[in-house]
Amino acid sequence: MFIVNVEGAIYSDGKWLLIRRSEKEEHAGGLLSLVGGKCEVEGNSRDILERTLHREILEEVGIEVEVSKYVNSSSFVTDKGLNVIDIVFLCQHKSGEAYAKSSDEVDEVIWMTTSEILSHSDVPDYLKENVELADIIFEQ
């Protein structure tokens, strides 16, 4: 079985929204990442990926987005051995001012251009790849 995680590559005014994950987080604490989270068990439901993304973004950084396009998917294994499928969507900022709303999950909110992200030494390679792909899709 897999944990299903969704992330939003949120774009506004030439920049991408990144968060510094809280040091309290079990997985990847203190690292830069896109905003997102795990799907909850709902039984039979529709649009679970998109609804989860809207919920997580609002809970973590207090903004509303429009989910526009699929970017990519990948899988990884956490430090605790849990298998995760991660799905990234391109999102447009709709309303609200992003801030570290959930201190248990987010230490800092950072807006960066694609070139800043790609040249930043603190950004994990998988995040650079996701932003590069999202940037290409956004430009199409």
The one-digit pLDDT tens for each residue of the chain (140 residues) are: 899 999 999 999 999 999 988 766 666 556 899 999 999 888 888 999 999 999 999 999 999 999 999 999 999 998 889 999 999 999 999 999 999 998 888 889 999 999 999 999 989 999 999 999 999 999 88
The tokens of 1 are what? 């079985």
Q: What is the pLDDT of residue 44?
A: 83
Domain positions in the chain: 3-139
Written out in words, the top-level CATH class of the domain with range 3-139 is alpha beta
Q: What is the pLDDT of residue 122?
A: 87
CA distances from 29 to 48, 64, 67 (A): 25, 24, 26
Alpha-carbon 21 to chain mean position? 10
